[in-house]
Amino acid sequence: MSEIDEQLDGEADAAPMLLPLDQWHRDRGARMVEFAGYMMPVQYEGIIAEHLWTREHAGLFDVSHMGQLVVSGQGAAEALETLLPGDISALKPGRVRYSLLLAEDGGILDDLMVTNRGDEYYVVVNGATKWDDIGHLREYLPDDVTLNHLDEHALLALQGPEAAKALGALGLKPAFEGMPSLEDLTFMQAGPFMWGERPLGISRTGYTGEDGFEISVRAEDVVALADALTAMGEVMPIGLGARDSLRLEAGLPLYGHDLTPETDPVSADLAFAISKVRREGGGFPGAERILDLLADGPQRLRVGLALEGRMAAREGAKVMSEGGEVGVVTSGGFSPSLQHPIAMAYVDSAHAAPDTQLEVEMRGKLLSARVVPMPFVPHRYHRRGVRP
């Protein structure tokens, strides 16, 4: 039995696993909690302070629980297109694309990022679903396409307006001649770099709405990298709590909460992940259902809610209109940046228009809410032609 098979079979009974930086987090006073099968830092100084630091400076997140996969072999792009609704064949080397792993009925099994590395595809999947994802990919990818799990690599995310300055101070060099420099990478671009003799895989991506980078690094090198980054005045270690409040403000869905196998890409407001050529040609799981939803509109839609007062709406809270239930909250919390509660919810399409007045039922109270566009806080990604 392979290592992957053993972990797939044993995952349910396994004790929480430790990240390569586990002791590093504890040495810095992190409060550790179990999440996605790992012990992870939820906070250091405090969620609000860490949230605001990331918005103003640069935060370092340990996301090594996520699955780093490599898909290679003849026809790898076409094979991935049988499982994802994106145009993977058209993805140029060094480019990153957000996509969705779909069930046969079009339900969302996971959301993920795909990078064309030239001769292979690097895929990052969610930590809570990675073993199911690996099993699904192994079952449906053809035999001549190889799936490797980079289980000896850690993954760090450096996010915030000073992230580029901090990472640039390490003096990284492109791994190959003719590749873009770090400062020339724009949002959704990636490349291999060298930090001295240490190889790093870097993409200009993230989960906070800020400019930033995700860094794949050998586990044996991750302590040195984390030390080097947090030695800079711009960078602080940030925990899961602030990561969640940052992604909520950015209007980014969380798998297992805002996205599940019962939700589809159109209802989830993720139709942009269905490439134009796939809309015309189909050929992905659930295509008939999803294309019908694109044409006719969904019955429910994921929307943003701005709430009055100080009480936050939580997952599972009913969304009401004129005494009747019209939806359910899937993520909610107090926004440190906006200083009022915000939430994501699925509501009936008739109540999904911006400025629609609704109520959220929490602890026997009805909280006033209004449908607002997402993101709640504007994205500040480093796009082509715009310097950070």
CATH 2.40.30.110 in the chain, residue ranges: 299-372
Per-residue pLDDT of the chain (388 residues; tens, 9 = 90+): 333 344 444 444 579 999 999 999 999 999 999 999 999 999 999 999 999 999 999 999 999 999 999 999 999 999 999 999 999 999 999 999 999 999 999 999 999 999 999 999 999 999 999 999 999 999 999 999 999 999 999 999 999 999 999 999 999 999 999 899 999 999 999 999 999 999 999 999 999 999 999 999 999 999 999 999 999 999 999 999 999 999 999 999 999 999 999 999 999 999 999 999 999 999 999 999 999 999 999 999 999 999 999 999 999 999 999 999 999 999 999 999 999 999 999 999 999 999 999 999 999 999 999 999 999 999 999 997 654 4
What's the CATH class of domain 3-64+154-185+196-249? alpha beta
Bridge partners of residue 325, in order along the sequence = 320
Number of H helices and E strands in the chain, helices first, is 10, 21
In this predicted structure, what is the pLDDT of residue 385? Answer: 61
Cβ(130)–Cβ(3) below 8 Å: no
Which of 326, 332, 321, 275 lies closest to 299, judged by CA?
A: 326
CATH 3.30.1360.120 in the chain, residue ranges: 3-64+154-185+196-249
- Report how far apart, in Å, the C-alpha atoms of 58 and of each of 155, 171, 216 are: 16, 18, 18
User: What pTM did the predictor assign?
Assistant: 0.94
Question: How many CA atoms, within 13 angstroms, populate the side-chain half-sphere of residue 319?
Answer: 32
Which of 157, 155, 170, 159 lies closest to 219, judged by CA?
A: 155
Peptide linkage before 375 cis (omega within 30 of 0):
yes
pLDDT digits (tens, 9 = 90+) for 282-306: 999 999 999 999 999 999 999 999 9
pLDDT digits (tens, 9 = 90+) for 357-376: 999 999 999 999 999 999 99
CATH superfamily of 299-372: Aminomethyltransferase beta-barrel domains (2.40.30.110)
Burial class (CB in 10 A: 0-12, 13-18, 19+), 15: exposed
Question: How many CA atoms, within 13 angstroms, populate the side-chain half-sphere of residue 376?
Answer: 30
Q: For the chain, what's the residue count?
A: 388
Phi-psi region of 3 (alpha: psi -120 to 50; beta: other; left: phi over 0): alpha
Largest alpha-carbon pair distance within the chain? 64
Q: At what angle do helices 240-249 and 47-56 cross, to 10 degrees?
A: 60
Q: State in Å, rounded, how far the first CA of the chain is from the last one.
A: 49
Cβ(218)–Cβ(192) below 8 Å: no
